[in-house]
């Protein structure tokens, strides 16, 4: 299983499934990371975390811990 955490900077991936549950998952989904959406990893913050994504045409920052819950292809 490949997660968003493993996607390299500059690569694009498609979301397969969101794992986990509760408020964080809901928050991530509300921000537009849902099944089938394309994510483009824009960059990683200076200290290696969090990462900046381009999703649905805007910039979103998520932590790697949360990125691990996002299964991608």
Contact positions vs other proteins (CB under 8 A): 12, 18, 21, 23-32, 34-38, 40, 42-50, 52, 54, 56-63, 66
Q: How far is the CB of 60 from other proteins (least distance, A)?
A: 6
From CA 73, how far away is CA 65, in angstroms rounded? 18
Instruction: Between 2 and 56, name the residue whose CB sits nearer to other proteins.
Output: 56
Q: How far is the CB of 72 from other proteins (least distance, A)?
A: 15
* Closest among 7, 54, 8, 4 to 31, alpha carbons compared: 54
Instruction: Between 2 and 34, name the residue whose CB sits nearer to other proteins.
Output: 34
Q: What token pair was written down for 58?
A: 């805007």
Give the helix/strand (H/E) hosting 26. Answer: helix 22-30
């Amino acid at each position: 299983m490949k997660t968003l955490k493993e996607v390299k900077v500059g690569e694009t991936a498609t979301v397969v499934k969101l794992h986990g549950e509760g408020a964080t998952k809901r928050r991530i989904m509300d921000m537009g990371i849902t099944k089938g959406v394309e994510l483009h990893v824009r960059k990683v913050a200076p200290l290696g975390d969090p990462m900046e994504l381009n999703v649905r045409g805007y910039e979103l920052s998520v932590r790697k811990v949360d990125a691990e819950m996002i299964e991608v292809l």
